[in-house]
Amino acid sequence: MQDKCAGVRKNLRALRCNTGGMAKRMPPEVLEYLQEIGRQYGKLGGKTAAKNLTAAERSARAKKASLAAAKKRTADRLERDSKRK
Is 7 part of a structural domain of the chain?
Answer: yes
The answer to whether 15 and 24 are in contact (CB under 8 A) is yes
Dist. CA 71–CA 59, nearest whole Å: 18
Say yes or no: 38 and 1 in one domain: yes
Residue-wise pLDDT for 62-79, tens only, equals 999 999 999 999 999 999
Residue-wise pLDDT for 42-56, tens only, equals 777 877 888 888 999
Say yes or no: 38 and 2 in one domain: yes
Say yes or no: 3 and 37 in one domain: yes
pTM for this model (two decimals): 0.45
Say yes or no: 10 and 31 in one domain: yes
User: What's the domain count of the chain?
Assistant: 2
* Nearest-10 crossing angle of helices 2-10, 28-41: 130
Residue-wise pLDDT for 6-63, tens only, equals 454 555 555 555 555 556 788 999 999 989 988 888 777 877 888 888 999 999 999 9
| Domain span at 23 | 1-42
